[in-house]
């Protein structure tokens, strides 16, 4: 930009002297001066715009390196950025995703209407939930979705940045653990047995509901080895 600007200014000055080789008029000189100022101002704005674009490209390049699926969409829903993480997670390439409607592309299934989600993002600046979505091959999954409102330098909302992470296996593991804990609690109630653990060296006790019943600890009481000894008959 600097070379082009300098070249335009030199050409303007050369054109001025060629057109007025002997006695340049004040009007001609004024026009030349205005032209030089216009070129300088245009170059200044162009350099600022280039700097802003370069910074944006660097940020987008950094976003592209993360393993998280990161997508940027307009307020209307059109995809404008699709990083490698999104390609890996959903199976759509960047060229295939750009310009498409994000919700339709990944068949997002949030628990609330999309209009409410966009309204929440506009009002609070963010939104997060765990909706279901679909990969390109039709596989359904649950994603941890976090949305952040993007604004321009004047503070005007221009888009929404969304990050997605597949939490399907994690949620299945949590459900399996809860089922296992429920089965264990039920079995202990039926067999009137319990399981306990003692933290060393603090002596804090943690255990099942049956352990509280057998050791006679109230719901609001924190079990400990010392309190257990106090509850135990001296001869025992």
Distance CA 211, CA 224 (A): 12
The pLDDT score that the predictor gives to residue 177 is 79
Q: Is 157 exposed, middle or buried (0-12, 13-18, 19+ CB in 10 A)?
A: middle
Q: Render pLDDT for 82-139 as a digit per residue (tens, 0 to 9).
A: 998 999 999 999 999 999 999 999 999 998 999 999 999 999 999 999 999 999 999 9
DSSP assignment letter at 109? B
Residue given tokens 């067999």 in the structure block: 191
Q: How many whole angstroms separate alpha carbon 90 and alpha carbon 96?
A: 11
Residue 212: per-residue pLDDT: 78
Question: Averaged over 27-54, what is the pLDDT?
Answer: 71
pLDDT at position 125:
94
């Amino acid at each position: 930009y600097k070379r082009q600007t300098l070249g335009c200014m030199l050409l303007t000055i050369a054109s001025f002297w060629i057109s007025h080789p002997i006695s340049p008029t004040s009007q001609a000189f004024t026009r030349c001066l205005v032209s030089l100022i216009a070129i300088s101002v245009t170059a200044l704005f162009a350099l600022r715009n280039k700097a802003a674009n370069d910074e944006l490209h660097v940020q987008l390049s950094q976003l592209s390196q993360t393993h998280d699926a990161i997508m940027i969409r307009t307020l209307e829903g059109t995809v404008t950025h699709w990083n490698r993480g999104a390609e890996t997670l959903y199976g759509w390439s960047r060229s295939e995703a750009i310009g498409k409607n994000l919700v339709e592309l990944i068949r997002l299934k949030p628990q609330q209407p999309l209009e409410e989600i966009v309204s929440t993002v506009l009002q609070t600046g963010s939104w997060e939930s765990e909706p279901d979505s679909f990969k390109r091959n039709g596989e359904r999954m649950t994603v941890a979705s976090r949305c952040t409102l993007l604004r321009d330098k004047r503070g005007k909302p221009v888009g929404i940045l969304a990050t997605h992470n597949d939490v399907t296996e994690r949620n299945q593991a949590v459900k399996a653990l809860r089922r296992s804990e429920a089965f264990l609690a039920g079995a202990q109630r039926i067999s009137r047995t319990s399981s306990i653990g003692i933290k060393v060296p603090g002596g804090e006790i943690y255990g099942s509901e049956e352990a509280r019943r057998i050791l006679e600890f109230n719901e609001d009481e924190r079990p400990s080895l010392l309190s257990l000894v106090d509850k135990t008959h001296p001869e025992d």
